[in-house]
Amino acid sequence: MEDHAVKTFRPWEPRRYAHEVHSPAAKLPEGDLVFFLLDVVPQLDLSRFYAYYEDETRGAPPFDPAEMVCLLLYSYSVGIFSSRKIALACERNLAFLAIVGVDRPDFRTISDFRKIHLDAFADVFVAVLRLAAAAGMVKLGNLAMDGTKIQGNASRHKAMSYGYMKKEEQRLRTEIDALLKQAQSQDATDDAALGSRRGDELPEELQRREDRLAVIAAAKQRLEAQAKAEAEAERQRRQEAEAERQRTGQKRRGKEPGPISETPDDKAQTNFTDPELKIMKTNNKGWDYCGNAQASVDEKHQIIVACDVTDAANDKQQAVPLAEATRKNLEQAGIAPPKDADGQEQKIPATLDSGYYSEAAAQDLEELGFDPHMATGRQRHHAPTAASAESAKSAESAPDATAKEKMAAKLRTPAGQALYARRKVIVEPVFGQIKGVRGFRRFLLRGLAQVRGEWRLVCLTHNLLKIWRYRCAPSGI
């Protein structure tokens, strides 16, 4: 680690804490996770964290960034995400005491450090990915990509529909007009009572209504912009569908679709607590404000190679951004794709469910160096498989087959079936381990950028747990 002489930090001596009377080292197992992290963190390049303090020499010495990074990594690994709960654990939990010793940060220090350095954990994510690759835990034999809904820090009761906004806007304007008329009628009396003051100060009640009117106007603009974007996407979808019908000569099924409207539906909602999140359908609660958390997971040891969070309720547009993030992280971590017998770089097999499929997405994944295996529709249970590998292969290479038909035929081959069948057991257990075992079911931070940083922190601690259990955990853990 580099020598940072510009800023003085509070002393951090975890090795001394570990050997004091009634020390964590005397009570905890030798292979405990906290000792693993205390060994790993000093080996990481934390220069991005230290750089924040180089130009600020005023005030009391802050806590050593290495100590705070280690504290957050351990907290998220064991399922403690609240800064107040972390601060409480620093007072009464042996493993936390092994990190902080007797000089314990309060909850505000922990919360501020997380907010300030959330983006810097991107470097830690890549460094941990590099450690996993060095341990032989990343093979790129099958990358499974999927998403899961995670509740945001936004209440459903702090939302308003577009239709109700129009009514509320009209009501507030009426009340503001009435207050202005009342103020004008009392000008003479007010001038005598106010003395030297100007007498034209905005009444407090009027200010409150105008503030709420401005908030509602901004929310309406967000919904209108969203409606325009959705209308443009629907036009594009209809054009592609019409081009496909013209190519195949098929007639349209059902009724002619109605005109596309750029005006939001009266039931369209936005949230005032965290306007960047959208309401999404969830498995257990029906509907809630969520982030759609994405992950790209390697088959060998369920190492998360890339992650992201989007405000889109479906995964249709997420395949390419997730694939780009995967390639970027692999390059930064120095992980090369597998090679064939001739030393030529092979495409990385990637399995995705039908929610990601589009012809453009499949083509873009191939250009990014992946071999996509994407379901083109929902697969029925006990559906008959292809008669033989030859028939599936011939369907895949048929000159008049569409891109969708070729992809479907690719998944019917024995190799395609075997590869795609592994998708569920690669990526879905990862979400179960994060949400079910560690209990991360709700984002604490607000705003899409902050939510993405928090999800990255969750995913990199998942990888640390995998490395610890694979290399360092005592038998039976």
The predicted pLDDT at position 107 comes to 94
For residue 197, is pLDDT > 60?
A: no
Q: Are residues 263 and 326 in the same domain?
A: no
What is the average per-residue pLDDT within 380-401?
Answer: 55
DSSP bridge partners of 271: 159
The predicted pLDDT at position 286 comes to 75
Token digits for 136? Answer: 């032989």
Q: Are residues 384 and 434 in the same domain?
A: yes
Q: Are residues 422 and 305 in the same domain?
A: yes
For residue 3, is pLDDT > 70?
A: no
For residue 262, is pLDDT > 60?
A: yes
Q: Are residues 415 and 294 in the same domain?
A: yes
Cα 72 to Cα 56: distance, rounded to the nearest angstrom: 23
- Confidence class of residue 433 from pLDDT cuts 50, 70 and 90? very high
Task: Tell which of 254, 271, 288 closes a domain.
Answer: 271
Q: Lowest mean pLDDT: which of 188-197, 214-223, 248-257?
A: 188-197
Higher pLDDT among residues 46 and 20, named by residue: 46
Higher pLDDT among residues 458 and 6, named by residue: 458
Would 8 be classed as within a structural domain? no
Give the other-Cβ count within 10 Å of 443's Cβ.
26
For residue 388, is pLDDT > 70?
A: no
What is the average per-residue pLDDT within 361-381?
Answer: 86
Q: Are residues 92 and 28 in the same domain?
A: yes
Q: Are residues 332 and 444 in the same domain?
A: yes
Q: Are residues 282 and 427 in the same domain?
A: yes
DSSP notation for 14-79: HHHHTTSTT-HHHHS-TT-HHHHHHHHGGGS--HHHHHTTTT---SSPPPPHHHHHHHHHHHHHTT
For residue 250, is pLDDT > 90?
A: no
What is the average per-residue pLDDT within 171-192?
Answer: 64
Q: Are residues 110 and 197 in the same domain?
A: no
The whole model's pTM is what? 0.76
The predicted pLDDT at position 18 comes to 66
Higher pLDDT among residues 383 and 310, named by residue: 310
Would 425 be classed as within a structural domain? yes
Range of 435's domain? 139-154+274-470
pLDDT in tens, 122-159: 999 999 999 999 999 999 999 999 999 998 877 666 66
DSSP bridge partners of 298: 143
The predicted pLDDT at position 472 comes to 65
What is the average per-residue pLDDT within 64-92?
Answer: 95
Q: Which phi and psi (to 5°) does residue 131 adopt?
A: -65, -40
Average pLDDT, the chain: 81
Cα 118 to Cα 453: distance, rounded to the nearest angstrom: 6
pLDDT in tens, 81-119: 999 999 999 998 989 999 998 889 999 999 999 999 999
Cα 292 to Cα 282: distance, rounded to the nearest angstrom: 10
Token digits for 347? Answer: 């495409």
On the 0-12 / 13-18 / 19+ scale of CB atoms within 10 A, 356 is: buried
Overall number of domains in the chain: 3
Would 18 be classed as within a structural domain? yes
What is the average per-residue pLDDT within 213-239?
Answer: 71
Yes or no: say if 62 and 114 are a contact pair by the CB < 8 Å rule. no
Q: Which of 461, 118, 120, 431 is nearest to 296 (CA)?
A: 431
Would 128 be classed as within a structural domain? no
For residue 201, is pLDDT > 80?
A: no
Q: Is 114 helix (H, G, I), strand (E, B) or coil?
A: helix
For residue 329, is pLDDT > 80?
A: yes
Q: Are residues 298 and 445 in the same domain?
A: yes
Would 475 be classed as within a structural domain? no
Would 259 be classed as within a structural domain? yes
Residue found under tokens 């033989």: 388
Q: Are residues 289 and 438 in the same domain?
A: yes
What is the average per-residue pLDDT within 12-39?
Answer: 80
Q: Are residues 86 and 144 in the same domain?
A: no
pLDDT in tens, 391-418: 555 555 566 678 888 899 999 899 999 9
The predicted pLDDT at position 106 comes to 93
- Confidence class of residue 387 from pLDDT cuts 50, 70 and 90? very low
Task: Tell which of 245, 271, 297 closes a domain.
Answer: 271
Q: Are residues 144 and 167 in the same domain?
A: no
Would 127 be classed as within a structural domain? no
Higher pLDDT among residues 234 and 95, named by residue: 95
Would 2 be classed as within a structural domain? no
- Confidence class of residue 11 from pLDDT cuts 50, 70 and 90? confident
- Confidence class of residue 162 from pLDDT cuts 50, 70 and 90? low
For residue 271, is pLDDT > 80?
A: no
- Confidence class of residue 299 from pLDDT cuts 50, 70 and 90? very high
What is the average per-residue pLDDT within 252-275?
Answer: 70
Task: Tell which of 271, 294, 309 closes a domain.
Answer: 271
Higher pLDDT among residues 51 and 313, named by residue: 51
Instruction: Please tell me which of 66-70, 173-177, 278-282, 405-409 the model is most confident about, judged by mean pLDDT.
Output: 66-70
For residue 466, is pLDDT > 90?
A: yes
